[in-house]
Structure formats: structure tokens, C-alpha cells
Amino acid sequence: MSIVVSSLKWESARSGAQTISYDSDGYHLVRFPYEKTEESYDPWKMHDAAHGGESKSQFPDPRSGLIWPSHHGWGMLSAMVFWAADARATEYRARFVRDPLDSSTGYDSTATTDTPPSRGGQYRTYQWQMFVHPGTPVGLKISARGVGDVKLPVPLILAEFKLAINTDVKTPPA
């Protein structure tokens, strides 16, 4: 079994605050720096600033939130998100999205998770598995909501986003 991995990390203490801006789907695409300063691991260049456009992407533009699968295969996505404490929030949401910028094969969200707050900061992990393909990027989108489904710009403290692709998916003989 062969597995290729991209592991991204962003931390406000190292890279500064991430401005939370909501897209038309009501979610924020979490951005990740291209530098190796945040303990990121990306030997297959799935999080490369050259992917997805005519010009080079720069953190924190929207393309810095994408992982571009290097292989076809069974993708195991995982994420960790730490939000700052905010008494206004009544729920925290996260989802994995194929083509979150609608730039290649079309926006396709999956594995949306909705959780109520606990006291203090909000610390969450997420996992999902699905087929992934080169040319269709994946992203992690988050949302903090208040009463009446109001979207809140609750600050993030830390975020990690990982894709491990099993490239040896067996199929039965014809």
C-alpha cells in the first residue's frame, strides 16, 4: 500500500491573525502559509503556490486554502481547528469541500459537522474519507454561528488540514 501525504498547519501566534470572511456558502475557507515555518509537510507539492491560477498564490489569498491531490486515490482528510472563546457563538461548523473556489470541477461540499459550544475555547477535530483526483482541489471550510444563524467572525487560534491518499485502491476483476 502506497500513501502520499500533505499536512498543513497555521497558527496565529506564528503567522498572525487570520481574517474570517464568509463566502456565499456561509463558510470561511481556512488559509495555510506556503512556508515550512508552521510544521507543514508537503513533499508532493500538493499545497504549492503555483497551483490553480495564472499567477502565483500568496498566503492568505483564497488559493492558499487548497490542497491539490497529486494522485488519484482514496483520500483520508483530517483537520483540527481551535477557535477563541466567544460567548456569542451557539454552534461551530466545519466541512470538507471539493473545489471550494469553483475553479475546476464545481463546488461539492461533504462531511458537514455542526456542534454546540463548550465552555471556553472551542477545540475540534474532523475526519472524512472520499476519492480524490488531480485537478480537483480540496479545502477545509469553517463557520461560527450565533442566535438567528448570524455568521460570527470568531478568531481562529490554530488550524491543521491533512490529506493522505492511498494510491493502491484495488478493484475486483472484470
CB 93 within 8 A of CB 142: yes
Give the model confidence (pLDDT) of 82-130 as tens digits.
999 999 999 999 999 999 999 999 999 999 999 999 988 899 999 999 9
pLDDT of 123 = 97
Task: Count the neighbouring beta carbons within 10 Å of the beta carbon of residue 135.
Answer: 12
What's the gap between Cα 101 and its chain centre? 12
Give the model confidence (pLDDT) of 139-154 as tens digits.
999 999 999 999 999 9
CA dist., res. 123 & res. 157, Å (int): 10
Mean pLDDT of 48-53: 94
Domain ranges of the chain: 3-166
pLDDT of 35 = 83
Mean pLDDT, the chain, integer? 95
Record the pTM: 0.95
Longest dimension (CA), the chain: 57
User: Scanning the structure block, which residue is given the C-alpha cell 474519507?
Assistant: 129
Query: Which residue type occupies 106?
Result: G
Alpha helix locations (H) across 29-144?
Answer: none
3-166 sits in which CATH class? Answer: mainly beta
CB 127 within 8 A of CB 72: no
Give the model confidence (pLDDT) of 60-82 as tens digits.
999 999 999 999 999 999 999 99
**Percentage above 90 pLDDT, the chain:** 91
pLDDT of 120 = 84
pLDDT of 36 = 75
